[in-house]
Amino acid sequence: MELIKKILRESFPILFLCMVGGVVAGVVLHDMEIELTTIPGLLILLPAILGMRGNISGALGSRLASALHLGLINPELKWNKPLSDNFLASIILNVVMSFLLGIIAFLTCVATGCREASIIQLTAISLIAGTLAGLVLTLLSIFLALVTFARGLDPDNVLMPLLSTVGDIITVLCLLIAVRIVDLLLGINF
């Protein structure tokens, strides 16, 4: 019964914040209505980039939580080899998968007959948004894993829901930034 109380005590506040965060992500997404309807393929790209961000940061959070529980990483804000390796692996995954996702979104757009999408636009948006969001979420994952464990909380109860929700908000914001950057460079004109 004590374990159930501990899980509920640690999880409920985080899950409540995640619920509110999900609404915030929805508001930001609503404000992107013009971009979503103007850029062919962006609606195909959106769920995939959100899922990918959550998967990569979630896996990082799980690896860090396991390393903390096993004593392989000390819960202090100090850079070390395991943190550096995890950081680098996550950044590489974010960049490579974002690039591939842009190409897959374009091919899916072509296969489904949506309006003519530009492979350069979709790939650039995916790469910029994915890399920016991935960098922020990787640093946040490391920080949250260390801080939650140091404060006596189980990172397994906190990291995944928090990273998923914060990741959605950050990714949607980075997607909007990426669209604006690509608009400036390639002239989408909305």
Its sign, for the CA torsion 53, 137, 146, 83, is: positive
* pLDDT digits 0-9 by tens, 97-124: 999 999 999 999 889 888 777 899 899 9
Mean pLDDT of 63-83: 87
Specify if 134 maps to a domain.
yes
Domain that holds residue 161: 54-68+79-190
* pLDDT digits 0-9 by tens, 33-66: 777 777 778 888 888 998 888 889 888 988 999 9
Q: Which residues contact 25 (CB under 8 A, 6 or more apart)?
A: 165, 168, 169, 172
The CA-based angle 48-106-172, given to 5 degrees, is 35
Specify if 46 maps to a domain.
no
Specify if 58 maps to a domain.
yes
Specify if 174 maps to a domain.
yes
Its sign, for the CA torsion 20, 21, 23, 24, is: positive
Specify if 101 maps to a domain.
yes
Number of helical (H) and strand (E) elements in the chain, helices listed first: 6, 0
- What CA dihedral angle connects 171, 174, 179 and 181, to 10 degrees? -160
Specify if 74 maps to a domain.
no
Q: Do 89 and 66 contact (CB within 8 A), yes or no?
A: no
Residue 188 scores a pLDDT above 80: no
The CA-based angle 52-169-189, given to 5 degrees, is 90
Specify if 4 maps to a domain.
no
Q: How many domains does the chain have?
A: 1
Specify if 24 maps to a domain.
no
* pLDDT digits 0-9 by tens, 128-165: 999 999 999 999 999 999 999 999 888 888 888 888 88
Its sign, for the CA torsion 163, 161, 29, 52, is: positive
